[in-house]
């Protein structure tokens, strides 16, 4: 079984249980989207000693936790699963890492991003408009697809530029993903 040196930041115990079926790893659980100051301090300490990988659910609360932890630990690494890979098998369950297969978890942890605030901005607001990622009726769906193709998760229109910049998405990778989105139109 594979081992990861960094500690995974997850939302809850069900995420931990499912991830540990795929690999040998330590986790710290935020216990929901209201991350306590104590938990945040522990995450910062772990980041300094071992590094952390934020691995939250592909939903609003998961993105909220990702932002809170990223603000506290700017050098955190990020792993994402696609929304369709976190759908519960039984009705009534919530979307999340706890429902992802072993293969999906391992793939997400092979495609880790490290945020960088120093990266040059290669994609413009005009590029986002031209790609129909903001300001139109298909924008949300297009952003979902873009996040899936680039493995950066879903983000709203206001945060898209920041996410692309933070994860150092190159113009070439951006244009390739946009072309895939618009194939067959």
pLDDT tens per residue, range 94-132:
888 999 999 999 999 998 887 666 555 678 889 999 999
Q: Could you report the per-residue pLDDT of 13-28, keeping only the tens digit for each?
A: 999 999 999 999 999 9
The highest-level CATH class for domain 7-114 is alpha beta
Sign of the CA dihedral running 157, 161, 162, 168: positive
What residue ranges of the chain are covered by domains with CATH 3.40.1360.10? Answer: 7-114
Nearest to 53 by CA among 38, 70, 40: 70
Whole-model pTM?
0.74
């Amino acid at each position: 079984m594979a081992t990861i040196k960094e500690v995974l930041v997850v939302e809850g115990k069900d995420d931990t249980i499912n991830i540990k079926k795929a690999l040998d790893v330590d986790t710290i659980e935020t216990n929901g989207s209201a991350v306590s100051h104590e938990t945040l301090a522990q995450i910062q300490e772990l980041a300094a000693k071992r590094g952390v990988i934020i691995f939250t659910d592909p939903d609003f609360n998961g993105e909220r936790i990702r932002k809170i932890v990223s603000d506290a630990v700017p050098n955190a690494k990020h792993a994402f699963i696609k929304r369709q890979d976190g759908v519960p098998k039984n009705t009534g369950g919530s979307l999340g890492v706890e429902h992802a297969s072993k293969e999906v978890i391992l793939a997400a942890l092979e495609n880790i991003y490290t945020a960088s605030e120093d990266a040059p901005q290669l994609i413009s607001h005009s590029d986002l408009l031209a790609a129909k990622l903001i300001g139109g009726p298909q924008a949300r769906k297009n952003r979902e697809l873009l996040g899936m193709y680039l493995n950066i998760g879903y983000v709203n229109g206001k945060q898209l530029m920041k996410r692309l910049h933070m994860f150092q998405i190159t113009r070439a990778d951006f244009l390739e993903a946009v072309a895939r989105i618009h194939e067959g139109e």
